Every structure is written in structure tokens, then in C-alpha cells.
Amino acid sequence: MDSKKLTPIASALALGLTTLTAPAIANADLSASVAASNFYFWRGQNISNGAAAVSGSLDYGHESGMYAGIWTSSEMNTDTTSRSEYDLYIGFNGESGDFSYDISLWSYQYPEDVGSDDVGNLSESIISVTYSNFNFSYYQVLAHPTPGFKESQNQYLTFGYQMDKIGVTLGTFLDDSEADKTHLTFKYTANEEISFLFSKLVDAPSSTDDDLLVNVEWSKTFDL
């Protein structure tokens, strides 16, 4: 899921994409991916009401660490409506020894929602750091179409540990409201294409469905 709207955020996205296009192409890699799962899993939640999800991406990466891409998903069946999604993103990553980092901007597009296809209209920054087998990510919403939206109320954190084929992630929303949710997720990667994910809300409003979620995903990446 990811970025939107011509504000300073979109200007940065546009500038970054423009910068990536001409001279760098000789040292760049293009790739694509496809994936399918039994439902749309997002930050500890099933946001497709159990409907299967199909997604794909087209990615551009440069040897400097700069990258950009587009990701799209099949229609989501929410409580009130059905909608498709595509996300635009641009970022930079690097590593030194056991330490690595990734900084990116995302714009999330929902064509069926009026006005939501403006780049930057719903956008987010993500900062991730990894040391050895441990990782931490911080998500901050930068712009939102909802009137009266407060950026400080849309933050999300993850703390994870990866060991061989098994990963454990604790994710939590920081918005100081009754919608706060914290989940614990285990992921088993059987091979390069198949993974199994088990997720449980460990802290959430009493009205929230906290059943154990079991997500099975098939994915494949292609070099272009």
C-alpha cells in the first residue's frame, strides 16, 4: 500500500522520479512481481473481508540505492464499498556490515474514491533500519484527505526478528484513540514463492475481531 497529492511530498516524488530516469538507466535494474493470497493482509488486519487478493508490482532500482515503483492490488471488499488500489513509491537504501536502512515515500491511490487519485492526497513516509537479525520500521502519514486530520495521530511502528525462514513482528498503531491496535505476527517462508503468516491482535478495542488470522501467499519476481 502506498503514496499521493501534489504538495511538497508529490514534488519530492516527481523530482526523484525525474532524477532517476535518464543517465542512470545504464546501471539500473527493472523487475516485476506477482502475488496471490487468501485475503488482503495489512498491518495485522484482514481488510478485504476474507476475499482473495491478487497483486503485482513494477520496480526500478539503481546501483546507488535509489529505487522507485508502482504496486497494484485487486479490488478490496470493505464494509461499505469495493475499491481497487495502486501505490507509487520512491526511496533510497544502503548497508554497511550488519547494518542496513531504507527511507521511502509512498502515495496510495484509490481510483473509485473521489479525489483520492491525486498524488500525495494520502501519503506516508517509512523509515526502516536493520541490524543483524533485528529490524525496526516507523510509518508516518504525511497527508490525508479526511477533514481535521492530525498527522500525529497516524503513526505505526514495527519491531521484528528474522531467523532463517521464520520471522516475528510486533506492530502497533500510535494514534491515542480507541482505534489503537497491536498485533503479533509470525511468518514462515517455505521457499522462494510460498509463505505462511499467522497474526493475532494482542491489544485492541473490545469490538474488534481478534480471531487468529492465517494468510497464505504465493509470489514470484521476474527480472526484466
pLDDT tens for residues 44-69? Answer: 989 888 889 999 999 999 999 999 99
Strands (E), 40-98: 41-42, 45-46, 53-62, 66-77, 82-96
For the ranges 2-11, 104-113, 159-168, the maximum mean pLDDT occurs at: 159-168
End-to-end CA distance of the chain: 23
Convert the pLDDT of each residue in 59-99 to its tens digit: 999 999 999 999 999 876 655 566 788 999 999 999 999 99
**Segments making up each domain of the chain, as ranges:** 8-223
Q: Which residues contact 219 (CB under 8 A, 6 or more apart)?
A: 33, 34, 35, 36, 193, 195
Q: How many CB atoms lie within 10 A of CB 111?
A: 11
What is the percent of the chain where pLDDT is above 70?
77
Helix (H, G, I), strand (E, B), or coil: what is residue 8?
A: helix
- Determine the pLDDT at residue 13: 39
What's the rounded Cα separation, in Å, for the pair 213 and 224?
34
CATH class of 8-223: mainly beta
- Residue 93: name the closest of 59, 137, 61 by CA: 61
- Determine the pLDDT at residue 145: 78
- Residue 86: name the closest of 70, 69, 105 by CA: 70
What's the rounded Cα separation, in Å, for the pair 92 and 104?
6
pLDDT at residue 40 tops 80: yes
- With cell 473481508, the residue in question is 49
Convert the pLDDT of each residue in 108-163 to its tens digit: 988 876 555 677 778 999 999 999 999 999 999 998 877 666 655 589 999 999 99
